Amino acid sequence: MAVLSLLLLLLVLVPIFTFSSAAHSNASASPPSSIGVNYGQVADNLPSPPDVIPLLLSLGAARVKLYDADPAVLRAFAGTGVEIIIGLPDRCVPRLIAPSAALAWVKTNLQPYLPATRIAAVTVGNEVLSGNDSVLIRSLLPAMQSLHSALVALGLDHQVTVTTAHSLAVLAVSYPPSASAFRRELLPYVAPLLAFLAKTCSPFLINAYPYFAYKADPKRVDLDYALFEPNAGVVDPGSGLRYGNMLHAQVDAVRAAIAAAGGGKAVEVVVSETGWPSAGDDDEAGATAENARRYNGNLMRMVAARKGTPSSPGAPLQVYVFALFNENLKPGPSSERHYGLFKPDGTPAYDFLAANSSATVSSSSGGNTAESPSPATDTSSTGYYTISSATGMKPLLWHPTVVVIAVMVAATFQYYGVLGYLD
């Protein structure tokens, strides 16, 4: 009876310890193939930050990009394991050139929330280099350097990187991707910026929207090519690489421009924004719920399948979808208020489950134009479209390690029992 009791105890405790270890591991690291989401708040009808977290988890999102350092949001994400990028608004950039101001900002907006909230990066401004504010452009890199120095002084530079997001308008040429280059007038700012990113192991962030290209010229741009749907693809005459979707071509154009500017492959390219509006004005071609469903659904499946681009097929592309919610106070055309995956009441803006049923995603490398990625795993209890890179957990009671240990212990107990050491 003693042998049986100890064996049963072992079979109960080992799964508990194994599950606890797995849960801790999942909470402490963002899998490289998990999707990121932009969480903007230019609205007056959004749910509270604590109520936002279940929606993010329903997407399988392990990364969130913010546009400010809202204390309520940072507190809400404490202990969730979700990786956070904080945004520093454009208006704050010039003043943070001063080392004392940068140090004060870090002490106020970052340090109090670490390490409970997993703040991984700060983006300084947004699309600064493609704007018209010369003071802001000249202030960008000095502010980034001051922030990094503040992080070093506080011992936080190994936890938090400093970068900035760009639009594709920083490129003078984007097609073919292999011939891409930055605008000549921006090179005096881009070259030292790339050196800073390489030195600090920080990524180059790009906001890439195939929707804009389609909207500008719907008669010439293949909609399937923009939406990751099967299509003939486009061959880069310079590299010979075939592109099955526009986003990959845009990312590789940025990589080629970085290389041409002397950045090499030391700087990772991350898609900090991409998305498709589910509605728009009459003159906004392609802004429909169906196209948004196809674009974002195929995008999420591609990320979950760890797809790289043709020029870097072995490097899974890190992507942040724009955006979590429809934001009713955003200015501009109607499409600007309809990029959300969710409506403000927490219901999906369109049918994500239908997006998950797509059979193929055009995300080719080399000579292929359409591939079938691994199926997404639905880990949501809400029924929303879910992407997760984690595989389903088998009953831990029958995990091979547990069985082997149990057999060994049982054999040991039986041996000593035979010798009379156990009743």
Q: Which residue, among 247, 241, 381, has the nearest Cα to 307 in the 3D structure?
A: 247
Count the neighbouring beta carbons within 10 Å of the beta carbon of residue 215.
Answer: 20
Cβ-Cβ contacts under 8 Å for 117 (sequence gap 6 or more): 74, 75, 77, 78, 84
Catalytic site residue from 127, 229, 268, 327 = 127
DSSP string, 240-253: --EESSHHHHHHHH
Count the neighbouring beta carbons within 10 Å of the beta carbon of residue 365.
Answer: 20
* Rounded Cα gap, residues 4 and 165, in angstroms: 62
Count how many residues are written for the chain. Answer: 423
Q: Please report which helix (H) or strand (E) contains residue 108, including its range.
A: helix 99-109
Q: What does the block give as tokens for 361?
A: 């995603």
| 273 part of the active site | yes
Long-range residue pairs from 340-348, CB within 8 A, at least 24 positions apart, any chain: 340/278, 341/37, 341/59, 341/296, 342/55, 344/43, 344/45, 344/46, 344/47, 345/47, 346/47, 346/51, 346/55, 348/384, 348/385
Catalytic site residue from 268, 273, 284, 327 = 273
3-state secondary structure at position 373: coil
Residues designated as active site = 127, 273
